Amino acid sequence: MSATKVLMPGSISVVDYRCSDGPADAPFVELHGGFSVSYVRKGSFGYRIRGQAFELIAGSVLVGHPGDEYMCTHDHFRGDECLAFHLAPEVVEAIGDRTEVWRTGGVPPLPELMVLGELAQAAAEGRSDIGLDEIGMLFAARFVEVVSGRKRSAPQAGERDRRRAVETALWMDANSHQPVNLESAAAEAGLSSFHFLRLFAKVLGVTPHQYLLRSRLRHAARMLADDARSVTDVAYDAGFADLSNFVRTFHRAAGVSPRSFRQAAKGDRKIFQD
């Protein structure tokens, strides 16, 4: 079993698990250290917990509750891959619902969860501009809705909440060149991460990470057009921690590379006509 941390621990952490065990490998008892929802993106395995047995296949969801012992088996197929979201107790409290919901064990492939699971995978691979922590919280909240059968009502945004969302967006824009994440933005707004995510999206129509990313792209475009800084310096000055990620993200947004965008800003209009 290999475990790669995709998002470091915070109120939510994300781990990419890849197992190569097969029918000949003996299973062993493991322990859930916290709350988790794991999207099975490939393969199949058995999940034995509290006297129940689940056969999980691609599209299924494994649910973990702190302190529960469990065992994974591979009687029918070799190997599986999961994207696991580990949730801090305060996130689970904000999302809500009864203990038995978080002790569901396994959830079969359901369209309401599979589409978000695939979006989460796209975010983990850098193919989406939604934050991995954001989609993790939305995935967990959707799981609770589906299992409990109770749809969460949309957050009500009064004048104070609307001002709070706008002021935090302005703070994010002013500090977009600095490390900013969902937790720090939520702290600036004085809300829990989950409630801030829902309020921000309700009022402004984008998630906090989407707004932060687009703010960084806007500042980068201005720098590319206005001065002679290298593309590398522009990337880091705009707040991107990785040059290749900046180039890929900018190209996806503008349809051209940062270098070509700069040439177009200097008068080469043919670049946008190709």
Tens digit of each residue's pLDDT (9 = 90 or more) over 215-254: 999 999 999 999 889 999 999 999 999 999 999 999 999 9
**Residue 114 pLDDT > 90:** yes
Cα separation, 203 vs 49, whole angstroms: 41
What DSSP string describes 47-78?
Answer: EEETTEEEEEETT-EEEE-TT-EEEEE-SS-S
Q: What pLDDT shows up at residue 192?
A: 94
Q: How many residues does the chain have?
A: 274
Chain-centroid distance, C-alpha 117: 10
- Cα–Cα distance, 9 to 246 (Å, whole number): 24
Model confidence at 270: pLDDT above 70: no
Phi, psi (rounded to 5 degrees) for 45: -160, 160
Residue 120 tokens, joined: 């989460």
Q: Kindly state the greatest CA–CA separation across the chain.
A: 70
Q: pTM to 2 decimals?
A: 0.90
Summarised one tens digit per residue, pLDDT across range 217-227 is 999 999 999 98
Which residue type occupies 134? Answer: E
Q: Confidence band (pLDDT; 50, 70, 90) for 273?
A: low
- What's the pLDDT score for residue 10? 83
Structure tokens at 101: 């919901």
Question: pLDDT at residue 204 above 60?
Answer: yes
pLDDT for the residue numbered 172: 98
Q: Is the pLDDT of residue 274 over 60?
A: no
What pLDDT, on the 0 to 100 scale, is given for residue 178? 97
3-state helix, strand, coil in the chain (%, to 5): 45, 20, 30
152: pLDDT strictly greater than 80: no
For helices 132-148 and 182-189, angle between their N-to-C axes, nearest 10 degrees = 80
Cα–Cα distance for residue pair 208/28, rounded to 1 Å? 41
Mean pLDDT calculated for residue range 82-94: 95
With beta carbons less than 8 A apart as the criterion, state whether 30 and 69 touch. Answer: yes
Mean pLDDT (the chain) is 93
Q: In Å, how far from its chain's centre is CA 137?
A: 7
pLDDT confidence of residue 271 = 61
DSSP 152: P
pLDDT value at residue 269: 62
Structure tokens, 81: 């891959």
Give percent of the chain above pLDDT 90: 86
CA distance 208 to 131: 8
pLDDT tens digits along 135-151: 999 999 999 999 999 88
